[in-house]
């Protein structure tokens, strides 16, 4: 896979103008993903092209199309007189402006996404008649939106939080919406509890604080008194809660669905997206600081990768379980707060999603995109998963409220690519002009059309599952084991992941003011792991809890992201450079990094090109003031001469210190070695020196591939 990136993108991002080298990407100006190499034909994009309008070079007009002669002053009675009520153009402009925002999502308000296509690897006809999984090589256009949960639309990307991924498949049989989250378990077992947990999670109604964090009394009070929530919270406190990139996000459907084949045979199924780049995270300190340095970190990362032609890829996996095995395991397969272990129920990879086009208008394409788990195609149906059953009811109502009309399905981003005909009419913002006079069934005037379609000809028919029981508000006893799987997750983590999870709990609970709430939480946490609970208790100033963890020793390698693949490609290296650098050495290293798909950001004391020993110039992308060591994955210390040499050296020393303390790879050029002054206690793990090293480029790429050096001292 590493060679795949090298061969696919070799020398795409470097060019020489005279004697000046430029590594494009961070300074792409007007370049977008539409300017990159052609992507395969996408029928949804052709449909959206009908609505894409460029205003550049066109005359300014009113909404009704009248050309405007003055767009700078309101209509007045004399240049110093009062404004006139007849200024219809001012009223049109301002009345639209004050209504530009729509109600934001209650959850998932902050999000971003892109367009792409899904390619099926193998026919799944033996288990489902879903058209997009019917044959190898079949392509389906998809739009994707990633999001956080707690924060509002104006919060920041890197908050410790649950992250979600909605994928809208535009199939020839209608839209299919696959919604997933970045953990395989949910925080509630019954949809009735969802408003409660979100009320507890979000800011207080009296003061409106805090934003984009669960580190407060109300949330942890909820956790302590609703133990079903501890499982997902443990995942959020782990490195999984602070992702490095949306391009490196694994996500699960959580809910249990049904596959149904042509013979009417059903199979339980859960879905999972596996990022090709692997699953990787920030450190807690990085995530907090990046939130202030670049609130749009994940958004920018996704957009830049696509603009550079390094398209994010995710393989779709399914876990299949025969209906007769519903009660085979020691967990309830319908419980959304329990995962299906891959070691017991294998993941079958069925296709790959490639995101290859950025949005042209974030509001029209991402804020107005509307997902609904009830949007399925023939071959996919619903289990009795209680949270899924609740979601099927509320999503449509949510979107109608947020987008202001039951006609939101007809917005360009939500519109299916297949023909759609029904008897719905009118409503706010009706786009269609239905010319029929008959909009009811049954009828004779239109020969009873639009007509229904039998299942054997493609009509959707619900799976005839057997149901029984008394009407009751209750929960299955099989849902009540809250700690065994949480313990398994803890057992499966690597030592460094456990350390980071302890830090996550300690930071969040350390923000809780109520000693009682802090105590209740460690009393709950002891059921997961005694040592974990005792360390956290000491860190947050409460008594060590009594008792010990549940007697479970099982662990699964699939639950640790330390087992995830790693690549140098698309990681960002900050090149710290001044004038007088060794031109041959540095240019050769930068070329090698570029050939291996590493993203290069050249950082200097100002934005003037830096000049090497032989007059070679390198374009500077960022300055020490506008960038930060927290915004890059590794650094390449070249050094050189600065206008203010003491300040230049001080800035580089700061970058080195932060990178070293956060276990990042560090490459030291020959001219940069004098700036690196380790102590006798530093083992220099992950630090690569160019001096007397003919294989420096290769060694540095290998270090970048490893990402972190946890054994560093």
- Which has the closest alpha carbon to 663: 294, 284, 326? 284
Same domain, 132 and 254: yes
Average pLDDT for 514-530: 98
**627 within a domain of the structure (yes/no):** yes
* Residues in contact with 94: Cβ distance below 8 Å, sequence separation at least 6, in sequence order: none
**Which of 37-41, 59-63, 261-265, 451-455 has the weakest average pLDDT?**
37-41
- Average pLDDT of the chain is 93
pLDDT band, very low/low/confident/very high, at 203 (cuts 50, 70, 90): confident
Above 80 in pLDDT, residue 79?
A: yes
Taking Cα atoms as reference points, which of 639, 623, 628 lies closest to residue 572? 628
| Residues composing the chain | 713
The pLDDT > 90 percentage for the chain reads 91
In a shared domain, residues 122 and 23: no
Write out the H or E segment, with its range, that includes residue 506.
helix 495-510
Separation between Cα atoms, residue 627 and residue 631, nearest integer Å: 7
pLDDT surpassing 90 at residue 370: yes
Cα separation, 522 vs 10, whole angstroms: 52
pTM score: 0.93
DSSP state, 490? H
36/32 Cα distance (integer angstroms): 7
Q: Could you tell me if residue 683 is inside a domain? A: yes
End-to-end alpha carbon distance in the chain: 31
Residues 266 and 373 occupy one common structural domain: yes
Q: Is the pLDDT reported for residue 13 higher than 50? A: no
Joined together, the tokens standing for residue 284 give 């807690």
pLDDT at residue 29, rounded to an integer: 45
Distance, in Å, from the CA atom of 368 to the CA atom of 408, rounded to the nearest integer, reads 8
List the one residue out of 591, 553, 545, 581 whose CA is nearest residue 698: 591
Cβ atoms 378, 458 nearer than 8 A: yes
* Residue 286 and residue 381 in one domain: yes
- Judged by average pLDDT, the poorest of 241-250, 298-307, 420-429 is 420-429
Residue 27 reports pLDDT greater than 80:
no
pLDDT for the residue numbered 9: 38
- Residue 140 β-bridge partners: 118
Rg, the chain, Cα only = 28
Q: What is the CATH number of the domain that holds 116?
A: 2.40.180.10
Closest CA to 557 of 352, 343, 383, 240: 343
Q: What pLDDT is stored for residue 33 in this prediction?
A: 57
Cis status of the peptide bond prior to 561, with omega within 30 of 0: no
531, pLDDT greater than 50: yes
Question: Quick one: pLDDT at residue 10?
Answer: 37
Across the range 450-462, mean pLDDT stands at: 94
Provide the 3-class DSSP secondary structure of residue 685.
coil
**pLDDT at residue 431, as a whole number:** 87
Does the pLDDT value for residue 448 go beyond 50? Answer: yes
What CATH number should be reported for the domain holding residue 607? Answer: 3.40.50.880
Residue 639 lies in a domain: yes
What confidence score (pLDDT) does residue 40 get? Answer: 60
Shared domain for 156 and 279, answered yes or no, is yes
List Cβ neighbours of 248 (8 Å cut-off, separation of 6 or more): 275, 277, 278, 279, 280
* Confidence at residue 7, expressed as pLDDT on a 0 to 100 scale: 32
For the sheet with 20-23, list strands across it.
14-17, 20-23, 617-618, 610-611
Residue 278 domain-assigned (yes or no):
yes
Q: What is the DSSP string of 409-462?
A: GGSTTT--SS----S----TT-------S--SSS-STTTT-SPP--GGGT----
138 plus 253 within the same structural domain: yes
Same domain flag for 145 and 278:
yes
155 and 256, same domain (yes or no): yes
Q: Is the separation of the CB atoms in 11 and 21 below 8 Å?
A: no
pLDDT of res. 38: 47
Reported for 2-10, long-range contacts at CB under 8 A and 24+ positions apart, including other chains, are: 2/567, 2/568, 2/569, 2/596, 2/705, 5/310, 5/567, 5/568, 5/569, 5/570, 5/596, 5/597, 6/569, 6/595, 6/596, 6/597, 9/309, 9/310, 9/569, 9/597, 10/595
> Are residues 326 and 186 in contact, defined by beta-carbon separation less than 8 angstroms?
no
Q: Which of these three, 354, 376, 409, is where a domain ends?
A: 409
Determine which helix (DSSP H) or strand (DSSP E) holds 120, and give its type and residue range: strand 111-120
Q: Give the model confidence (pLDDT) of 162-180 as tens digits.
A: 999 999 999 999 999 999 9
Q: Is the pLDDT of residue 28 over 60?
A: no
Q: How many CB atoms lie within 10 A of CB 345?
A: 19
Please report the pLDDT score of residue 220 as a whole number.
Answer: 98
Task: Round to whole Å and give the CA distance between 191 and 198.
Answer: 12
Q: What are 403-420's pLDDT values in tens digits? A: 999 999 999 999 999 999
Q: Where in the sequence is the domain holding 14, given as residue range(s)? A: 2-28+568-706
SS3 686: coil
- Contact criterion met (CB below 8 Å) for 569 and 5: yes
Q: Using 50, 70 and 90 to split pLDDT, how confident is the model at 41? A: confident
Residue 24 has pLDDT above 90, yes or no: no
Q: Strand ranges (DSSP E) for 160-218?
A: 164-171, 174-181
Q: Do 151 and 20 fall within a single domain?
A: no
The per-residue pLDDT for 26 is 44
Residues 6+ apart with CB under 8 A from 317: 271, 272, 273, 274, 347, 348, 349, 350
User: CA 693 from chain center: how many Å?
Assistant: 39
Q: Which residues contact 106 (CB under 8 A, 6 or more apart)?
A: 198, 398
CA pair distance 19, 218, nearest whole angstrom: 60
| 116 shares a domain with 23 | no
pLDDT number for residue 204:
82
pLDDT of 65 above 60: yes
Cβ-in-10-Å burial (0-12, 13-18, 19+) of 217 comes to middle
Residue 39 has pLDDT above 70, yes or no: no
Side-chain-facing half-sphere of 457: CA atoms under 13 Å: 4
Range 485-503 average pLDDT: 98
Shared domain for 252 and 397, answered yes or no, is: yes
Residue of 133, 277, 247, 181 whose CA lies nearest to 566: 277
Residue 655 belongs to some domain of the structure? yes
Write the Ramachandran bin of 160: left for phi over 0, alpha for psi from -120 to 50, otherwise beta: beta
Strand, helix or coil for residue 114:
strand
In-domain check, residue 623: yes
Residue 2 clears pLDDT 50, i.e. is over it: no
Q: 69 vs 64, 97, 279, 708, CA distance in Å?
A: 15, 20, 55, 60
Residue 693 lies in a domain: yes
180-200 pLDDT, tens digit each: 999 999 999 999 999 999 999
H or E element at residue 600: strand 599-604
Predicted pLDDT of residue 206: 83
* pLDDT band at residue 607 under the 50/70/90 scheme: very high
25 pLDDT more than 50: no
Lowest mean pLDDT among 9-13, 229-233, 654-658, 670-674: 9-13
Rounded Cα gap, residues 429 and 403, in angstroms: 10
- The last residue of one of the domains, among 385, 409, 433, is 409
Domain count, the chain: 2
Tell me what percent of the residues of the chain surpass a pLDDT of 70. Answer: 95
422 domain residue, yes or no: no
Q: At what angle do helices 284-293 and 495-510 cross, to 10 degrees?
A: 60
- For residues 146 and 261, membership in a common domain is answered with yes
pLDDT digits (tens, 9 = 90+) for 616-661: 999 999 999 999 999 999 999 999 999 999 999 999 999 999 999 9
Q: Which of 356, 377, 409 marks a domain boundary?
A: 409
């Amino acid at each position: 896979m590493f060679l795949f990136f090298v061969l696919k993108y070799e020398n795409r991002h470097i060019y020489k103008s005279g004697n000046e080298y430029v590594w494009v990407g961070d300074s792409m100006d007007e370049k977008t993903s539409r300017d990159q190499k052609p992507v395969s034909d996408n029928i949804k994009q052709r449909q959206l092209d009908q609505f894409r309008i460029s205003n550049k070079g066109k005359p300014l007009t009113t909404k009704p199309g009248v050309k405007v002669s003055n767009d700078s002053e309101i209509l007045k009675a004399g240049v110093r007189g009062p404004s006139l009520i007849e200024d219809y153009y001012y009223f049109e402009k301002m009345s639209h402006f004050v209504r530009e925002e729509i109600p934001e999502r209650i959850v998932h308000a902050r999000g971003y996404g892109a367009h792409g296509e899904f390619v099926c690897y193998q026919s799944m006809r033996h288990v489902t008649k879903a058209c997009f999984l019917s044959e190898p090589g079949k392509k389906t256009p998809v739009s994707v939106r990633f999001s956080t949960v707690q924060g509002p639309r104006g919060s920041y990307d890197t908050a410790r939080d649950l992250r979600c991924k909605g994928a809208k498949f535009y199939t020839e049989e209608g839209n299919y919406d696959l919604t997933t989250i970045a953990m395989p378990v949910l925080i509630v077992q019954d949809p009735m509890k969802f408003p409660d947990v979100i009320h507890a999670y979000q800011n207080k109604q009296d003061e409106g604080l805090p934003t984009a964090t669960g580190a407060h009394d109300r949330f942890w009070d909820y956790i302590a008194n609703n133990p079903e929530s501890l499982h997902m919270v443990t995942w959020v406190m782990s490195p999984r809660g602070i992702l490095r990139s949306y391009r490196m996000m694994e996500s699960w459907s959580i809910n249990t669905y049904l596959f149904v084949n042509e013979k009417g045979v059903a199979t339980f199924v859960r879905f999972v997206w596996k990022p090709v780049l692997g699953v990787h995270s920030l450190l807690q300190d990085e995530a907090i600081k990046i939130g202030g340095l670049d609130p749009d970190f994940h958004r920018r990362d996704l957009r830049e990768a696509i603009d550079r032609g390094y398209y994010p890829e995710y393989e779709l996996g399914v876990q299949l379980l025969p209906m007769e095995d519903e009660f085979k395991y020691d967990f309830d397969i319908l419980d959304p707060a329990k995962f299906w272990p891959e070691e017991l129920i294998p993941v079958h990879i069925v296709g790959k999603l490639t995101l290859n086009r950025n949005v042209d208008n974030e509001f029209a394409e991402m804020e107005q995109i509307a997902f609904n788990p009830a949007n399925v195609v023939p071959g996919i149906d619903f289990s009795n998963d209680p949270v899924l059953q609740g979601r099927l009811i509320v999503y449509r109502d949510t979107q109608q409220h947020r987008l202001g009309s039951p006609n939101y399905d007809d917005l360009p981003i939500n519109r299916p690519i297949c023909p759609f005909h029904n008897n719905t009419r009118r409503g706010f913002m009706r786009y269609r002009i239905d010319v029929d006079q008959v909009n009811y069934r049954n009828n004779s005037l239109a020969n009873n059309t639009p007509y229904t379609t039998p299942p054997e000809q493609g009509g959707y028919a619900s799976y005839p599952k057997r149901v029984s029981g008394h009407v009751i508000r209750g929960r299955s006893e099989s849902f009540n084991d809250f700690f065994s799987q949480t313990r398994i997750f803890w057992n499966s983590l690597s030592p460094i992941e456990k350390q980071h999870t302890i830090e996550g709990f300690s930071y969040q609970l350390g923000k809780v003011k109520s000693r009682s709430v802090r105590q209740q939480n460690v009393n709950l946490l002891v059921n997961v792991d005694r040592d974990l609970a005792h360390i956290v208790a000491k860190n947050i100033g409460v008594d060590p809890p009594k008792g010990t963890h549940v007697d479970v020793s099982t662990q699964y390698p699939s639950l640790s992201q330390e087992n995830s693949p790693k690549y140098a490609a698309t990681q960002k290296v900050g090149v710290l450079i001044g004038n007088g650098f060794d031109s041959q050495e540095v240019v050769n290293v930068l070329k090698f990094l570029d050939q291996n798909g590493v993203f290069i950001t050249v950082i200097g004391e100002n934005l003037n090109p830096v000049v090497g020993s032989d007059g070679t110039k390198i374009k500077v992308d960022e300055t020490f003031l506008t960038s930060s060591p927290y915004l890059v994955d590794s650094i390449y210390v070249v050094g050189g001469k600065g206008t203010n040499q003491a300040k230049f050296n001080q800035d580089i020393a700061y970058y080195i210190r932060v990178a070293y303390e956060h276990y990042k790879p560090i490459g030291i050029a020959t001219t940069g070695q004098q700036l690196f002054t380790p102590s006798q206690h530093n083992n220099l793990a992950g630090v690569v020196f160019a001096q007397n090293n003919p294989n420096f480029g290769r060694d540095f790429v290998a270090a970048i591939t490893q990402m972190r050096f946890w054994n560093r001292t």
